[in-house]
Structure 1
Amino acid sequence: MVSETYTLGGDLPVRRLGYGTAQLTGPGYWGPRGERADAVAVLRRAVERGVTLIDTADNYGPGLAEELVAEALHPYRDELVIATKGGVVRTGDSTWHIEGRPERLRAMCEASLRRLRTDRIDLYQLHRLDPRVPMAEQLGALDELRAEGKIRHIGLDSVTAEQLTRALTLTPSIVSVQNRFNLLDRESAAVLKVCEAHGLAFLPWFPLANGALTVDAAATLDTVAGRLGASRGQTALAWLLHHSPALLPTPGTGSLAHLEENLDAAALRLDASEVSVLDALTPNPVNHG
């Protein structure tokens, strides 16, 4: 039996299949992708369909995605959990740098609070660890914001298993990780194991970015999808939900039709043999270029 829900931090129940806002912005996460009204409609439809976890970031736009979330969904329903990220400064199309100084993290968090029109962010994720700043100082800044009531829980983005393990010794407030992970990209499998061991959520980014499928992988995915009467994308999302109860995929789209397709994946049920054959697919080599 696959659980449809997960409780973040022990106190925030969410449906495991959420919605991510990156695709509401233009190429390179810069500026708008389309009409503002269309983006608002997609966000509202996601919530109408039962989504209770919205994942965004201050550098999507920059600032635009958070503004769209507030325009579409504020005042927020009690059951709606808004997750955002800070620690990356975007200066142009696909141009950005990491910024983890405590005073800058505080300023970014407070700016997100204003754009989201809220007094407290449910899940505030450190978008990248800054190698120039001690980890303890970066996490300490977020712990201070949490103590002040501006953050409810802390998450990390794009960390190794070793970094996550160390971070957990520095603060008990971490409840989630957001790393790249999908059917054919499992470089973060070790991070997922740490999450499972410590009761942390894992929000896989690019959950549908399967890359160039090998012939064998395409054939396998199509076979399973055919049995389910589903698309490749739906099957890949269903695999994530079956692969680990810690996985909370938040696929993004600016299309209402694609949104409906993605969310329908929550109803798919894979049997043990289907999960096994998808588990056995050889992940693609990761291109870091």
Structure 2
Amino acid sequence: MSIFDNIARAFGPKATKSPTVPALERLLRESSEDLEAARVALEILEAGRVHAVLEGEAARIALRAKVAAAREDLAELEIARDAVAARLEQTKLEEAEKARRVAYERAEAAQKSAVADLLSRYEPTIAELRKMQEAVAAADRLAEAANADLPQGAARLLETEAVRDVQAVPEQIIHEELVDAWFTTESGNPVEAAQVTRREGRRGVVYAESAFGPRPVPCELRRVRKVTRQPWCAPVYGARIGDLELPALHAEPGTAPKPIQELVPITEVAEAAE
């Protein structure tokens, strides 16, 4: 089946459905390949013109017919290729628009649902939060009064919302043990055991780079206490409910501007006066 039949089946009069982007891309690739093959075929025929002329009138006329047919094929294949390319571009635009429309309708539906939920639940939710704010504030006022005159041996009461805070992690020693470790003899800097060479008992040497090349640095094995420590971690305080600003459902309407009077000339009257 020729490329022309494939194009007719894809989006010609006999097409039963619109072609997809992958199908059109395949058609464009096939039509481009056929077009290139037709261009090569015409070049081959043109290259044989001298030989046909030298063979005589019949060969010349036969070649002219073949060249004319090849040129017609090339022109029609160019038309077919351009038509497929145009249809591919149009289909890509249509599919992109379809995707935008689907995204828009999904967002519109989500907004409608959220608006309905907002209008039905906002005021009851705000009312509950205000009750919570009042309860927390009342409890804090009682705690403040109690802290001002504490009973004997009683600890100060924290603010009510302190239960929402993440407390600090204190510094603590998780594990400790006595081990032998290598240190430089003069400065006392720790040294990796794998770097120590020329060991003699509890003494050895490591080499350090210098301007004159590696130089030996004496080191020694010392008994030390190896400690694994948990560092202190700061507390994290939650935002206070009492500090929240709870807006009304609807915005307060602004003040409408005062009416303005204007004198607008009537064109017909102005022209008649002139």
More helix by share: 2
Max Rg structure: 2
Instruction: Normalising by structure 1, report the TM-score.
Output: 0.14
Q: Which has the higher contact order (CA 8 A, sep 6+)?
A: 1
TM-score, normalised via structure 2 length: 0.15
